[in-house]
Amino acid sequence: MIRKAKCHTTRKHHAKNLCKLCYKRKYAKLYYESNKENCLKIARDWKKENPKRVKELHKRHYKQNKEKYLKRTRDWEKGNPKRVKEFNKRHYEQNKEKYLEKSKQWKKVNSKRVKELSKRYYKQHKVECLAQTKRWVKANPKWVKAQARKRHLRNKYNLTLKRYKKMLNEQDYKCAMKNCKVKHYNKTKLHVDHNHKTGKVRGLLCFRCNRILGDVKDRINILRDCIEYLKERD
């Protein structure tokens, strides 16, 4: 005959007139407190042997108690802001490339949002941003000059730097005037000659030749008069 428990008459007897569940509830805590180190060691060994099972249990437990976990993390972050910053910095240094790729992708998808955030940040930290740009400009003078040159060619002559270099090669790095011997060097750069009415680029000239055309305002009659004057008076 099957012996029944006194706590639950429908269940089997396990020990001390109790069913299995009631026995565990009553005596499991006492056993754990008396043999805490052994229990923890057994648990650690089992976790090492069954990592997949541990992950599954963690995931299931997290899904069942998601709100509690999130609340706990928020409370902990509020109480430990310095610890959170240290952890974020360390994690960023370890996974820097992934963070940069993710931020680039996000910026491409959310260009309007990026503009709004940058404007808001600039308004809030205007003095700091200006000081930072000044420091950066002093530290990188060559890059700043190159960018200024690009902007000047694009805005004034609708000319790219590649096209400018191509024109220099075509002219053999010399002034476009036949009898002028001035060449393009780092110090003496050739200037872009263009039609002031139409904006068409005609060629690259040295400073003097370009200045003569500019003073005359591209009027051929005045240039002819100058030639005749020199012939008569010399």
At 218 the pLDDT is 84
- 3-state SS assignment for residue 203: strand
At 29 the pLDDT is 78
Structural domains of the chain, count: 1
At 1 the pLDDT is 61
Q: Is residue 189 one of the residues assigned to a domain?
A: yes
Sorted by sequence, the CB contacts under 8 Å of residue 209 that are 6+ apart come out as 175, 176, 177, 180, 182, 193
Q: Are 193 and 213 in contact (CB under 8 A)?
A: yes
Helix pair angle (126-139, 111-124), 10° resolution: 100
Please tell me the distance from the alpha carbon of residue 207 to that of residue 174, in angstroms, as a whole number: 12
Amino acid present at 229 = Y
Please tell me the distance from the alpha carbon of residue 44 to that of residue 182, in angstroms, as a whole number: 83
What is the value of pTM for the model shown?
A: 0.50
Q: Which residue has the tokens 């963070």?
A: 99
Alpha helix positions (H), the chain: 20-34, 36-49, 51-64, 66-79, 81-94, 96-109, 111-124, 126-139, 141-157, 161-170, 207-216, 220-233
- 3-state SS assignment for residue 204: strand
At 115 the pLDDT is 95
Which residue numbers in the chain have pLDDT < 70?
1, 186
Which residue range(s) make up the domain with 171? 160-233
CA 60 to chain centre: 36
At 86 the pLDDT is 94
CATH at 203 = 3.40.1800.10
Q: Is residue 179 one of the residues assigned to a domain?
A: yes
Each residue of 139-150: b (16+ CB within 10 Å) or e?
Answer: eeeeeeeeeeee
At 147 the pLDDT is 92
Q: Is residue 173 one of the residues assigned to a domain?
A: yes
Q: Is 74 exposed, middle or buried (0-12, 13-18, 19+ CB in 10 A)?
A: exposed
Q: Is residue 106 one of the residues assigned to a domain?
A: no
Q: Is residue 201 one of the residues assigned to a domain?
A: yes
Cα distances from 222 to residues 74, 219, 229, in angstroms, run: 81, 6, 10
pLDDT in tens, 173-221: 899 898 888 888 767 788 999 888 888 899 999 989 999 888 888 888 9
Q: Is residue 164 one of the residues assigned to a domain?
A: yes
Q: Is residue 214 one of the residues assigned to a domain?
A: yes
Please tell me the distance from the alpha carbon of residue 100 to that of residue 98, in angstroms, as a whole number: 5
Q: Is residue 227 one of the residues assigned to a domain?
A: yes
